[in-house]
Every structure is written in structure tokens, then in C-alpha cells.
Chain A
């Protein structure tokens, strides 16, 4: 067993920052209305002297202008769940610890390569999503958790090396029960190494079984006892906008983030999305739904963004938008498109599937289609959108352009080139026709496929052009 721990020291702040990136001082505050205190600060605020734990009133005395936003525990949980779903890509055993995600990676390395490479993959993912992180690896989940808290990038790859790595961890960083960690330094025990050398009986008498259990989990004597994370079967991401947005263009930035999140999340569960909803929430509680549908399951961030944007740009906003929500329920398996090794297309080619999506996003769902022939001989019904083309050959000449419905052929009497071909059919469905078809040439030199009543050769109706 080998556990990687991704520690997320600023989960709440990062969640806020990716929604409204700002360079100015920003703090998150929590607590009762009269006694608000700071729970997170960004670098600019820290430079100005604001500290975690400070009262908001004290901070206001230090700095005249800064943004204070409420700390939302729900949001933190939601982001942690989201990131766990992203990490699920690398391991099937993912668990949550406070402000951290641990994943079992000993078997993942066969697929993703040795630890340094896997670590860089994890780092790239979390950096791209905009979350600061510390990563470490150790033979037990709790040890990895402790080591990540001490220093970023520690790697303990064998159980033999673990005691040595834990040796010098100071007790206040050991994540042991708080009462214990506070009492032990008074007994002259300041590091984990010292604690691990103490007789177990004595520790049990003084601090109870809880401490021994924590120590055993740290060293691997006892299984970690963590619940496995199960990624949810639907994606639901809501972003509150910092101000009321009245034009679509201002929604593009949050939309790009949200579709990128969706793509990362889909990669985590190795799935695709075929249909999702963008819900634009308005002030009066009403909302505008933008349906985004694709022909095949997709998960590429750029494509999802482009398609969603194409749909969004056609929406008329009934009122200002306060929040944006992305809901995806249908998540079919993703089948990557096969590519030919000796592909003759240009290097930067857009696959035909993506081209089709792009056209549909702007021109409408039914804008791109193919025609196939049916077995009906009547020209109006001889072909249909999306009919399976059987490839059967028609013995009589057929035009290349077909009119939707016949119209009178104007002008002088045309010259008959060939015909007639009698079509008499359709008595069973009320669309009975009895026509003699001819290939005719008009005075202007156009070749037409026209018909008239049997035996008449007058009252020509135009059915198509031999263009």
C-alpha cells in the first residue's frame, strides 16, 4: 500500500478566488454578526498585516479597504468532493480527510508511471483547476497526511523508511487528538519519534485507547479505516456571480471555468457528457434553462465550452443573472474517436464530429443532416433525412435537384428529351399519384424533370432539375 495525500490548505479561499480573481486584499470571515473573525487571508491581505483568527474589527483598524466575504463550510465540502472526483482518475481508492484527499497509488503507478511522474500529473491537474496544494506519499494514509502538513513533496516509498521520516515531526503537526498534543510537551515529549518509543501501556493509562489507535494508524499497525469516496452520478456546479450580469458576454468567463471543471470531473470518472443544462438564475427566483445537447458523448474542455457558448449566445436574457449553474445528469461512457495513423488531414484539423457540433450549436439541432432514399417511388417521399441509404440504383433518369413540392413550369412549351415514365402509386395512404414523368428542356436551356397528367403533355409541373 502506498498512499498519496493532497493537502488543500486554502480550499475555501481558492474556491472564492477562482470565482472572482482579485489581486487586492481579500479575507474570508466567519462567526456571529457581532464577533466576526478572519478564517482565511490571501497573500495581499497577509502582507497588510491581517492574520487568521483576527477579529474583523481589528482588521478594519489595520487596513482601510479590503474585501471580506463570508466563509461557507458547504462550499468547502463541495469543492473537496469535486476534487476527490477529479483525483478518482488516478485511483479507485480515494478518501477524504479534513482539508485533504488521500488516494491509494501503489497500483496506479503501473499505469501512470513511477511516483515522480504521477506526482507531476496530480500537481498539473490541481494547478490547472486553481487550487493550491501540498502533495506527499507514504505507506499509510495518515502518515502521508501528516507529512504533507509538515513539508510539501515528501516521498516515503517503503514501510522501512517510514519511522525515520516520522522521527522528527513536531507534535503540534502530528494531527494527534488535540488534548494529547497539548499535554505531551509538558512531559518533555516534543516529536513523534519520542512518542513512538514510549511504552504503550503507560500511554494507554494516561491518554486512553484513542491515542494508541491514532499512532497505530500512523505506522500502519491498524488499517486506516477510511470510507471510500464514491463519485456522484451527476454533476451539479453552481457559481454565484459577484454582481448582476446583464449581457451574455460577461458570462463567458465563468462558463469557461465551469466547462473546464466538468471536463476534469468527467476525466475522473472516465465518462463523457451528452446533454447538460445551463441554468441562469435571476433575482426573482426564476431561471432560464439553456439546453446543450451533443451528438456523441464528449469530454474535451474546449469543445464543451465552445458548444455551450454557442447555445448561450443565442439566449435573450429576460433579466440580470445572479448565478450560473451547470447540471449534467446523463453521463454515458466516453468512447474516444479512433484516428488513422496515416491520417491525411492537416495537422490542426478539427474532427468532423466537432465540426458538426460547432455547426449545430449555432445553426440549430437539425442543421446538419444526410439524406437517404426510401423504397417509396413518389419523388416527394423517395428520400428522407437520416434514412439509411440502401444504394439501390434507379433505372430511369433522376434529376440532381429535387423540389420539395412540384410547381408549375412556366414559359413556353418545353422540348421533351425522354419519357414518359409513369408513376402510379400511393392509393393505400391517401397520397395517390398518377403522373407521367418526362425529361424536358426549357427554352433557356435548363433541363427539368417535369410531369403531367397521363397522356396529356400539357400543364407541366416541375419536379426537379438536371443541374
Chain B
């Protein structure tokens, strides 16, 4: 044991894996919900990735979760796309949340074309965010969306029913919305960090 190798030289050579996860780059996509941002490893939506939002029912605040982000992005260079939304977006309501509706494209598509259209929009690289409501998306379909979001540098949001929580998903972030007894958001999966144990209360806009 005469040859003493200095530990620092070994480490500096970067030939030893030190078991630390990749550092998560600070994201530039805050959700607009300070409490949620504080929990997420990138300080907001994962950049150029798929975020899955799981709901028990329609109308429990799922849009209010993303509307601050959409309002911010609608002032940017690239438009927003909604692929086959379950209802018509109410122009006056979205405007009250600060979204410029002239920057929102709505794509009507049959169920079998929804995933195709979503992937095309994501991959094109000319959309800032794409929102989709896929009914029959399996693991492979979601992975395609994730890859497309990455290559098109776009935010992808998939709104799905809560029962899909049991299935694994390639999405970088999975949020579950809880409506009763009060609106809360559970982070079910987040890439690059530990899943927080506590939910975030969602303070829905006071309506008067």
C-alpha cells in the first residue's frame, strides 16, 4: 500500500460515480402558485416536458392550476394550443385570468386523432404549451408526447382521470387534484426530486 492515491485527484478526474443524482436545472416556468413552486424540484413546471394532471371530476380547478402559466405564455412569441378540450373555453373567463385569447388556438379532433394532433403540435416547436385531454392514452402514447415535448421545447399538459394514477406514467410531473373536502394538489411524481409527503392547498380565486 505504498502508492497512495490522493482522493481529490481521483474525484477531479471524474471517473468515479459519486451516486448523486443529476442536478436539476433551475426551471423558468413557475406555475404561478408559490406554494406549489416551492415543492417542485425545478421551481415550477418541468421544462419541455409532459406534466400530467389527474382529476376526480371536471370543474374542480384544474384550469386554474395552469391559467397563471398560460397567461404568462400568451404574452410570449409562441401560441398556446388546446387539443380537443372537453368544453368550450369561456373567452370572458379566461380573459379574467389574464390570458390573451388571440394567442390560443383550439384544435377540434376526434378521439382517434387527439394524440396525433397533440404530438404534431408539440413536435412542431412553434407552440409554447399544448393542453390535451386524451381519453385512451397508454404508457407508450404518453412517452411519445414526452419525447415530442422535449424535441419541440414546449410544455405539455395532459388532463386525465384520477383512476390512471395506479398506472405508471413517463410524465415528468404528475399532479393529483383533490376537490373535497377542499381543493388540494398532491404531487405524485416529480422528476429530479423526492415526492413531497404533504399536499398543497389550492386557494381558488375568490368569486364574488
Contact = CB atoms under 8 A, between A and B. Distances in A.
Given A444-B180, A466-B207, A467-B62, A369 B105 contact: yes
B63 A401 contact: yes
B57 A444 contact: yes
A32 B195 CA distance: 86
B56 A397 contact: no
A182 interface: no
A345 B62 CA distance: 28
A198 interface: no
A364 to B, nearest CB: 8
A169 B62 CA distance: 83
Nearest to B178: A445
Interface in B48-74: 56-64, 67
Given A340-B77, A465-B87, A367 B109 contact: yes
Given A345-B125, A382-B92, A383-B88, A448 B59 contact: yes
B40 to A, nearest CB: 21
Interface in B144-158: 151-153
A61 interface: no
B120 A369 contact: no
Contact of A366 (B108, B116, B121): B108
B87 A349 contact: no
Contacts of A379: 90
B91 interface: yes
A216 B2 CA distance: 100
Contact of B59 (A359, A393, A446): A446
Interface string A398-415: 111111100000000000
B93 A398 contact: yes
Contacts of A400: 63-64, 67, 89-90, 93-94, 97
A346 B127 CA distance: 11
| Centre residue among A348, A379, A446 by max chain B CB count within 10 A | A446
A371 B102 CA distance: 8
A350 B125 CA distance: 6
A358 B122 CA distance: 13
In which size bucket is the chain B interface?
35 or more
A443 B57 CA distance: 12
A352 B59 contact: no
A279 interface: no
B78 A389 contact: no
A189 to B, nearest CB: 68
A363 interface: yes
A355 B79 CA distance: 12
Interface string B108-119: 111001001100
Interface string B172-208: 0000000111110000000000000000000011011
Nearest to A352: B126
A317 to B, nearest CB: 21
A447 B97 CA distance: 16
B86 interface: yes
B107 A368 contact: yes
In which size bucket is the chain A interface?
35 or more
Given A344-B77, A367-B109, A444 B125 contact: no
B124 interface: yes
B95 A401 contact: no
Contacts of A362: 113, 116-117
Given A418-B208, A445-B60, A445-B182, A464 B87 contact: yes
A445 B180 CA distance: 5
B94 to A, nearest CB: 6
A379 B181 CA distance: 30
Given A345-B153, A367-B107, A370-B102, A464 B60 contact: no
Given A349-B125, A355-B120, 15 more contacts: A345-B153, A349-B124, A352-B127, A355-B124, A355-B126, A363-B107, A367-B109, A370-B106, A379-B90, A383-B90, A402-B87, A445-B179, A448-B59, A466-B205, A467-B60
29 contacts: A349-B126, A355-B124, A356-B105, A359-B121, A363-B109, A364-B108, A367-B107, A370-B101, A370-B104, A370-B105, A371-B88, A371-B91, A371-B104, A373-B95, A382-B92, A383-B91, A389-B91, A394-B95, A401-B87, A402-B89, A403-B87, A443-B180, A444-B180, A445-B180, A447-B59, A464-B93, A466-B205, A467-B58, A467-B59
Interface of A: 340, 343-346, 348-352, 354-356, 358-359, 362-364, 366-373, 379, 382-383, 389, 391, 393-394, 397-404, 417-418, 439, 443-448, 464-467
Interface of B: 56-64, 67, 77-79, 85-97, 100-102, 104-110, 113, 116-117, 120-121, 123-127, 151-153, 179-183, 204-205, 207-208
**Which 8 A/B pairs are nearest by Cβ-Cβ distance?**
A445-B179, A465-B59, A349-B125, A398-B93, A401-B87, A445-B180, A350-B124, A402-B90
